[in-house]
Amino acid sequence: MRDVDLRFYISILWRRLPYVLTITILALAISVLVARALPPVYRASAKILVEAPQIPADLARSTVPTTAVDQFQIIQQQITTREYLLALADKLDFYGNNLSGEKLSGGEELSSEDIVEDMRSRITFEQLDSLSAKTGTSIFDVSFEAGEPVLAAKTVNELVAMILRSNQRQRTDRAGDTLRFFDREVARLGSELNRLEADILKFKSKNKDTLPESLDFRRRQQISQQERLTLLEREEAALRSRRSSLTDAYATGTPSAVSGPVTPEQQMLQDLNRALAEQLAIFSENSPNIIALRARIVSLQRGLMSNQATDTSASKKALSGLELQLSDTDQRLEIIGREKTAITQSIADLTQSIVATPASETALNSLERNRLNVQTQYNAAIARRAEALIGEQIELRSDGGRFSLLEPASPPQSPISPKRRRIVAIGAAAGIGLSLALVALLEILNRTVRRPSELAQLLQYQPLATIPHIPTPAEARAASRKRGVARGIAAALVAAGIPGTLATIHYYYSPIDLIFQKFISN
Amino acid sequence: MESISTSLQGIVQVRAIDRASEQTIHACTRIESEVLWDSLPALRIDPAILAQNRVVTINRSTAARTPFDMMRTKILQTLRQNNWTSVAITSPAPSCGKTFLALNLAFSLADQKDCRTLLVDVDLRRPQIGERLGVTGSPPFENFLNGKSDINEIFLRHDSNLAVGVNGQPVQFSAETLQSPETTRVLRELRQRMNPDVILYDMSSMLATDDVIAFLPNVDCVILVAAAERTTLAEVDSCEQYLSEKSNVLGVVLNNCRHHRGY
């Protein structure tokens, strides 16, 4: 059944062959015409290598953070801006002299919109392949389509130059910006630091007495002053006692220390005075012991007075010596007194300064802390500036993520479009498809009986008979003649085709003898 | 008892006489038909003309006649089963190959020696059988149908068992002629006198005229011819339905089929 069906379809096709052939040939002719009529388009392309930074990032870092690929995309956007494209078209005189492929109807002026649109459609950026995702090294392909190979190549090279220039400029600008920023930062922080330091100096000079660093010194000073004060007091006491003893000695006539040894009376008197003093500590004023003692002392003093009166000459001499001694002592005492007041004042000052020290220490600490913070920032800024300097150097010497021209565009040998062969092939295929569709449609629309099976399907019983086509003798002769002619043509085609194919292979593919040798060696 | 037996004997005798007379009549008619067949003028055929008109069954040895022979056998079997004699050949549209089929079938039946066949051209508008056979100057068939002409003036004999009724002239009022009682009578008489086993009526097409509809009561069964790639399924369907309602459809023949290889 399938076999019958296949034969049936083949026979239908055979009968409709005129249609099929006509439509196919028409389609072929049209496609050939189209392929010939379409203007050629040449595409030139250049490859740009977008490299990752040359210097390892852990040694020195570029200060341009964008990856090269991002950079490329940014530039791509810049290049496809209106102004640039218009400038490029103008520069290359792209639409001025009617190039093949840009023939303007009636020489009318293209609007800038159209020009930009057209240019955009001609330019293609393509990332060929990312060599490694980590480093971001990749190759981009920039291509341009134009009606002339030379023009296409020229445009591509122009574009590429622009890309490279723009990339370099951008990166160095960025690096320079970074450096400038850090420069400014350093300057700012430096002036801040200077200001703070001046403040500190001012504070210190203002509160130099209460500075914490001189606290120990001042404490020691205070102690030594106090020691000195006690010494002075002691000396003063000694002087006073001596003076009093001198005066006493003068008064008793027995200059104790000055006028020789003390008389027994004097000695007694002194002893009694001492005893009195002791007794006074124990007894009251009007106890009998005391009264007795006082009486004795008075009597003794009378005796002494009388004795002194006897020795006036001697006492005169003694008096002048005493005078001298006393004035000396008084002088000393005065000096000591003065010194004491001075020392006491200084101790009071010191104490006050010591008391005031914590407050000024706190103030100073806060100042110092500020200074330290700023100092830290300043140091960091200095370090960063150094990095930025290195980064700028890297960018200046384009060791950062750099673009390099891998392969400049050269004028293409053959146009990329129209792909004439493909157009013709598509035309032929379309023609065949169309004709087959037409045949199918005709067959669908054709509601006539063609096979006994159709009748059987309709009538639910087999037809009585199926008569094949019976040719008249003339028809039979014509058919056999036709068959003979067809066979002859086929034979001629085969006979012509084999040498033709061989010749084609020989002249267009590779010489036959080489192929044969290859075949033999295989 | 006696009377009964005598009456029975009488009846038996009468029966015997009847049978004898029937046989006599039968013999008479057979003899008459023999005589009539012999009296028919011979049909001279030119093989070249026949071949030109695609009549293949006159050749004994040709592969092309196989389908006709098969069809002949089938038709004969069906006719005998149903005790039918007359077969009309029609088609939905003109030039589907009715005459072609009728002629081929007729010559194929002629090879069946024990079977007498009549081929009658009742396509009164476009009679073609005579033309196809290369017969010229035959009288109008209308005369025969009116009873003006006799059988042996119209029919031509091929071999000894095929008589062909050729129409020399188209008839104007064909449908009226075909459905007139006179026609019915003439055809009945023809069947009686010629005593054929098969009568093939080559008719006009169904959808062009009402001839077929008019003539249907005179036939036992119908063969519908469909021409491959000309006749639509709808035409076949409608004609077949009509015919099977009004008469017996012997079958549908698909003619001129190029997509068929044997059975």
- Quick check: is A278 in a domain? yes
String of DSSP letters for A87-122: HHHHHTTTTTS--TT-PPGGGPPPPHHHHHHHHHHH
How confident is the model over A22-54, as pLDDT tens digits? 998 999 899 888 888 888 888 888 888 877 666
Domain-embedded: residue A202: no
Copy the structure tokens of residue A347.
């101790």
Q: What is the pLDDT of residue A161?
A: 87
Contact A477/B at CB under 8 A: no
Same domain, A401 and A377: no
What stretches of chain B adopt beta strand conformation (E)? 86-90, 117-121, 155-158, 162-165, 198-202, 221-227, 248-257
The separation between the first and the last C-alpha atoms of chain B, rounded to the nearest angstrom, is 67
Q: Which amino acid is at A27?
A: A
Under the banding of pLDDT at 50, 70 and 90, the label for residue A312 is low
- CB contact (8 A) between residue A449 and residue B232: yes
Indicate if the pLDDT at residue A190 is higher than 90.
yes
| Nearest one of A346, A353, A329 to A229, comparing CA atoms | A346
Q: In what order do the strands lie in the sheet with A403-407?
A: A123-132, A137-146, A42-50, A403-407
Contacts of A464 in chain B (CB under 8 A): 71, 74-75, 223, 250-253
- Order of strands across the sheet that contains B155-158: A465-468, B248-257, B221-227, B86-90, B198-202, B117-121, B162-165, B155-158
CA nearest to A267, candidates A290, A241, A249, A291 = A249
pLDDT reading at A99 higher than 60:
no
A58 and A176 within one domain: yes
User: Considering the domain boundaries, does residue A452 fall inside one?
Assistant: yes
pLDDT at position B82 is 95
- Find chain B residues with C-beta within 8 A of A442's C-beta: none
pLDDT, one tens digit per residue, over B137-185 is 888 888 898 888 888 888 999 989 999 999 888 988 888 999 999 999 9
Alpha-carbon distance B95 to nearest alpha carbon in chain A (angstroms): 14
**Quick one: A291 and A368 in the same domain?**
yes
Q: Considering the domain boundaries, does residue A234 fall inside one?
A: yes
**Run of H or E residues at A139:** strand A137-146
Contact at 8 Å (CB) between B240 and B112?
no
Claim to verify: residue A360 and residue A394 sit in the same structural domain: no
User: Model-level pTM?
Assistant: 0.55
Tell me the percentage of chain B whose pLDDT exceeds 70: 98
Same domain, A375 and A293: yes
Residue A194 inside a domain? The answer is: no
Whether A5 has a pLDDT exceeding 60, the answer reads yes
DSSP annotation of B139 reads P
Instruction: Using alpha carbons only, give the angle B168, B172, B178 rounded to the nearest 5 degrees.
Output: 85
Q: Which of A4, A446, A466 sits opposite B67 (nearest CB)?
A: A466
State the pLDDT at residue B120. Answer: 94
Residue A201 lies in a domain: no
Q: What is the mean pLDDT of residues A72-94?
A: 83
Q: What residues make up the domain containing A138?
A: 44-99+111-185+388-407
Q: What is the pLDDT of residue A277?
A: 84
Residue-level pLDDT at B225 = 95
Q: What is the mean pLDDT of residues A259-272?
A: 71
- Which among B132, B262, B193, B95 has a CA at the least distance from the CA of A452? B262
**CB contacts, 8 Å: B251 with chain A:** 461, 463-465
Average model confidence (pLDDT) for chain A? 82
Taking the C-alpha atoms of residue A299 and residue A487, their distance in angstroms, rounded to an integer, is: 193
**Are A323 and A379 members of one domain?**
yes
Residue range B194-206, pLDDT digits in tens: 999 999 999 999 9
Statement to judge: residues A354 and A439 lie in one domain: no
The pLDDT value given to residue B262: 47
Q: Which of A93-97, A308-312, A504-508, B250-254 is the least confident region?
A: A308-312
Q: C-alpha dihedral over A405, A411, A413, A416, to 10 degrees?
A: 80
Say if residue B10 is exposed, middle or buried (CB neighbours under 10 Å; 0-12, 13-18, 19+): exposed
Span of A107-111, A233-237, A438-442 with lowest mean pLDDT: A107-111
Residue A478, both tokens? 């014509």
Answer yes or no: do A58 and A34 share one domain: no
**Are B228 and A4 inside 8 Å of each other by CB?**
no
**A289 and A332 share one domain:** yes
Tokens of A396: 């200046």
Look at residue B55 in the predicted model and tell me its pLDDT.
92
Q: Which two tokens stand for residue A317?
A: 């001499």
Residues A235 and A286 in one domain: yes
- Interface touch B257/A471, C-beta < 8 Å: no
Between residues A301 and A107, the one the model is more confident about: A301
Instruction: Indicate which of A11, A466, A472 best probes the interface with B, i.e. most B CBs within 10 Å of its own CB.
Output: A466
Domain boundary (A375, A407, A439) is at A407
pLDDT of A403 reads 77
Phi, psi dihedral angles at A508 (to 5 degrees): -110, -20
- Largest pairwise CA distance in chain A: 212
Residues of A in contact with B236 (CB under 8 A): 449, 455, 458-459
User: How far is the C-alpha of B150 from the C-alpha of A522, rounded, in Å?
Assistant: 92
Q: Are B55 and B135 in contact (CB under 8 A)?
A: no
Give the separation between CA A310 and CA A303, rounded to whole angstroms. 11
Task: Examine the domain organization and report whether A392 and A380 are in the same domain.
Answer: no
Q: Report the domain count for chain A.
A: 3
Phi–psi pair at A147, nearest 5 degrees: -75, -15
Residue A206 placed within a domain? no
Residues A133-187 have pLDDT tens digits of 566 678 888 888 888 888 888 888 888 888 888 887 887 888 888 889 989 999 9
B236 in reach of chain A (CB within 8 A):
yes
Same domain for A49 and A33: no
Find the length of chain B: 263
Q: A204 lies in a domain?
A: no
Contact A467 B223 (CB under 8 A): no
Around Cβ A80, how many Cβ atoms within 10 Å? 14
pLDDT at residue B110, rounded to an integer: 94
Alpha carbons B238 and B14: distance in angstroms, whole number: 53
